[in-house]
Amino acid sequence: MCAPELNHQVLIDDRLFDKGGMFFDRLREVVGYGLGTVPHASHRLQRRMLQPAFVKSRLPGHAAIMVKEISKVVDSWQDGQIITDVPGVLHHLAGRIATATMFTAPLPEPLLEELTDALHVVMDSLIFRMATPHALARIPTRGKRRYDSARSRLRAATGQLIDIYHRSGLEHDDLLSMLLSARDDDGLPLSQEQISNQVLTMYIGGVETVAVTVGWALHFIACMPEIRERLHHEVDAALAGRHATWNDLPQLPYTRAVIAETLRIRPPGWVLTRITTADTELGGHHLPAGTTVIYSPYLMHRRGDIYPTPTALDPDRWDTRHTPAPPHGAYVPFALGARRCIGDTFGTTEAMLIVSSIAARWHLHPHGAPVRPKPRTSLVPDQLDLRITARTPAPHPPPNER
């Protein structure tokens, strides 16, 4: 059963439908008990501790860092270039944005590369680990060895990061400094493991999701001339060829709608689980305590009675002047309730800045074989290459004029 009111019931009552089930069991192997995986009993305390890093007043500063990282990538492209492995390029960019916003201290380049690379392997393997029955999960296959090694590398890199902050003794206005100075209910500092859990949670929560969303959005823009032209029209009027900034976002409603619609049709978290903590009823069925409940934003977002022609990408669905908002529980790319994504505005801002900055400068053309969704931890493109041509006169001055 997949109905908005059931989604709503499950997501709002996070005490009865707690984090648990196969997805979270596996995720806990990687991030321990961080904000996204911790049971209800400890969740509110952690959320209160981390929320200040995501308050609205911080977003313009985060956006400025995002624009810097985006321009390094987008300005390095050349007219006529084929961008191979677009998901890989975006994963790398989102990784750099996550590290640059969470850890503002100067950090060694190899450490940042190690974090990004290990995360990529972990995310790619997680779905297979989830699907492997417990009895078989310990068999040291090549995939398991690769996954275990990436998990250790991720932990080691995070540990080094914390050490660097400890050694410098400096306070930075960022997430890691906030965690280092945080105190628990008993007034004690967090252990290295607790800090590392939260850092990994934010990193895992914020990199793959954004990279996958933007990858699909770029694919749709390349393949759908009508959407591409309307997007170009909007970014030309708002940006005139430059990179978008935080202040430009209100002038980019169509870009926002393209992202919202991409999240509808390709929600990165396409299947998620909860576990019942007591006997209960759901949709007329009795569920004993300990039952795994699966909710799927992917299936929900394809209900034809809520989204007419549900498989068509139509950003105009999000034009609230003409279309009423979907019922509660029917649009859940970021979930709902107390466990709603803490990085929803951060992630949407990042996706809008990347898409609009690319669209302002580059015309995207499909290249290579048809692209299909591949079910991994997120719903990723099986492969995606794009050809780009300059939209405005060459974006770089010739080398001898630099």
Interface ranges with ligand HEM (CB under 6 A): 35-36, 47, 201-202, 205-206, 209-210, 213, 263, 268-269, 272, 333-335, 339, 341-343, 346-347, 351
How far apart are alpha carbons 120 and 100 in whole angstroms? 18
How far apart are alpha carbons 12 and 210 in whole angstroms? 24
Query: In the complex, what is the shortest distance from the CB of residue 259 to ligand HEM, in angstroms, rounded to a whole number?
Result: 8
Query: Which residues have C-beta within 8 Å of that of residue 185, sequence separation ≥ 6?
Result: 45
Query: In the complex, what is the shortest distance from the CB of residue 36 to ligand HEM, in angstroms, rounded to a whole number?
Result: 3
Complex with ligand HEM: residue 214 or 287, whichever CB lies closer: 214
302: three-class secondary structure by DSSP: coil
Query: In the complex, what is the shortest distance from the CB of residue 394 to ligand HEM, in angstroms, rounded to a whole number?
Result: 32
Complex with ligand HEM: residue 157 or 341, whichever CB lies closer: 341
How far apart are alpha carbons 235 and 154 in whole angstroms? 38
Query: In the complex, what is the shortest distance from the CB of residue 139 to ligand HEM, in angstroms, rounded to a whole number?
Result: 28
Paired tokens of 147: 């996954």
Complex with ligand HEM: residue 126 or 391, whichever CB lies closer: 126
Complex with ligand HEM: residue 70 or 391, whichever CB lies closer: 70
160: three-class secondary structure by DSSP: helix
Paired tokens of 162: 């914390």
Strand partners, 83: 386
Strand partners, 272: 295
Complex with ligand HEM: residue 201 or 356, whichever CB lies closer: 201
- Closest residue to ligand HEM, judged by C-beta, is 343
Complex with ligand HEM: residue 143 or 373, whichever CB lies closer: 373
Query: In the complex, what is the shortest distance from the CB of residue 203 to ligand HEM, in angstroms, rounded to a whole number?
Result: 8
The one-character DSSP state at 52 is G
Query: In the complex, what is the shortest distance from the CB of residue 342 to ligand HEM, in angstroms, rounded to a whole number?
Result: 5
Q: Please, are residues 27 and 284 in contact by the beta-carbon 8 Å criterion?
A: no
Q: Phi/psi of residue 107, each to 5°?
A: -125, 150
Query: In the complex, what is the shortest distance from the CB of residue 82 to ligand HEM, in angstroms, rounded to a whole number?
Result: 26
Complex with ligand HEM: residue 213 or 277, whichever CB lies closer: 213
Where are any strands of DSSP class E within 196-259?
A: none
User: Over 87-112, what HEC string results?
Assistant: HHHHHHHHHHHHHHHHCCCCCCHHHH
Complex with ligand HEM: residue 213 or 280, whichever CB lies closer: 213
How far apart are alpha carbons 13 and 373 in whole angstroms? 31
CA dihedral defined by 215, 216, 217, 221, rounded to 10 degrees? 100
Query: In the complex, what is the shortest distance from the CB of residue 293 to ligand HEM, in angstroms, rounded to a whole number?
Result: 11
